[in-house]
Amino acid sequence: MLALTILGNNSAIPAFGRNPTAQILQTREESYLIDCGEGTQLQMSKYKIKRSKINHIFISHLHGDHYFGLIRLLTSLSLLGRTQDLHLYAPAELEQIILLQLKVADSQLCYTLHFHPLTKDELILNGNKITVHCFAVQHRIACWGFLFKEKKKPRKINQERVLSYEIPVSFYERLQKGEDYINKKGLVIPNEEVTFTAPQGKSYAYCADTIYDETLPDKIKGVDLLYHETTYLHDLKDKAAARYHSTTLQAASIAKKAEVKKLLIGHFSSKYEVLNEFLTEASAGFENTDLALDGVSYII
C-alpha distances (whole Å) from 92 to each of 21, 89, 149, 199 are 20, 9, 24, 37
What gap in Å lies between CA 291 and CA 275, rounded to an integer? 8
Q: Which of 72, 87, 243, 261 binds a copy of itself (CB under 8 A)?
A: 72
Least gap, CB of 273 to a copy of itself (angstroms) = 14
Among 33, 34, 36, 94, interactor with a copy of itself by CB under 8 A: 94
Q: Which stretch binds a copy of itself (CB under 8 A): 62-70, 121-129, 155-163, 286-294?
A: 62-70
Residue 218 burial (10 A CB sphere; 0-12, 13-18, 19+) = exposed
Task: Name the minimum Å distance from CB 268 to a copy of itself.
Answer: 15
Of 48-56, 68-76, 159-167, 190-198, the window that binds a copy of itself (rule: CB under 8 A) is 68-76
Sequence-distant (≥ 6) Cβ neighbours of residue 14 within 8 angstroms: 20, 270
| Contact between 170 and a copy of itself per CB under 8 A | no
145 contacts a copy of itself (rule: CB under 8 A): no
The side-by-side arrangement of strands in the sheet containing 31-36 is 113-117, 86-90, 54-58, 31-36, 22-26, 3-8, 297-299
Beta-strand pair 143-150/297-299: unpaired
Q: In the set 63, 133, 155, 245, which binds a copy of itself (CB under 8 A)? A: 63
Kindly report the number of other CB atoms within 10 A of residue 45's CB atom: 9
Q: Which of 65, 213, 224, 290 is catalytic?
A: 65
> Is residue 151 a contact partner of residue 133, using CB atoms and an 8 Å limit?
no
Q: 3-state class of 199 per DSSP?
A: coil
Annotate each residue in 30-59 with x if it binds a copy of itself (CB under 8 A) or - if it does not, as one string. Answer: --------xx-xx--x--------------
Which part of the chain contacts a copy of itself (CB under 8 A), choosing from 71-79, 144-152, 193-201, 283-291? 71-79
Piece of the chain touching a copy of itself by CB under 8 A; list 99-107, 121-129, 231-239, 287-295: 99-107
Rank residues 243 and 256 by Cβ distance to a copy of itself and give the closer one: 243
Compute the distance between CA of residue 249 and CA of residue 256 in angstroms, rounded to an integer. Answer: 10
Task: Name which position in 75, 138, 158, 176 contacts a copy of itself (CB under 8 A).
Answer: 75
Query: Is 93 one of the binding residues for a copy of itself (CB under 8 A)?
Result: yes
Please give the DSSP secondary-structure letter assigned to residue 265. E
Nearest CA among 71, 87, 68 for reference residue 30: 87
Closer Cβ to a copy of itself, 90 or 254, answer by number: 90
CA distance 227 to 214: 16
Q: Which of 53, 55, 68, 116 binds a copy of itself (CB under 8 A)?
A: 68
Whether 121 is catalytic is no
Strands 31-36 and 22-26: antiparallel
Residues that bind a copy of itself (rule: CB under 8 A) add up to a total of 33
What is the rounded CA–CA span in Å between residue 216 and residue 96? 30
Q: Return the residue of 28, 48, 83, 106 that touches a copy of itself, per CB under 8 A.
A: 106
Any idea which residues carry the catalytic annotation?
65
Binding site for a copy of itself (CB under 8 A): 12-14, 38-39, 41-42, 45, 62-65, 68-69, 71-72, 75-76, 79-80, 91, 93-94, 96-97, 100-101, 104-107, 140-141
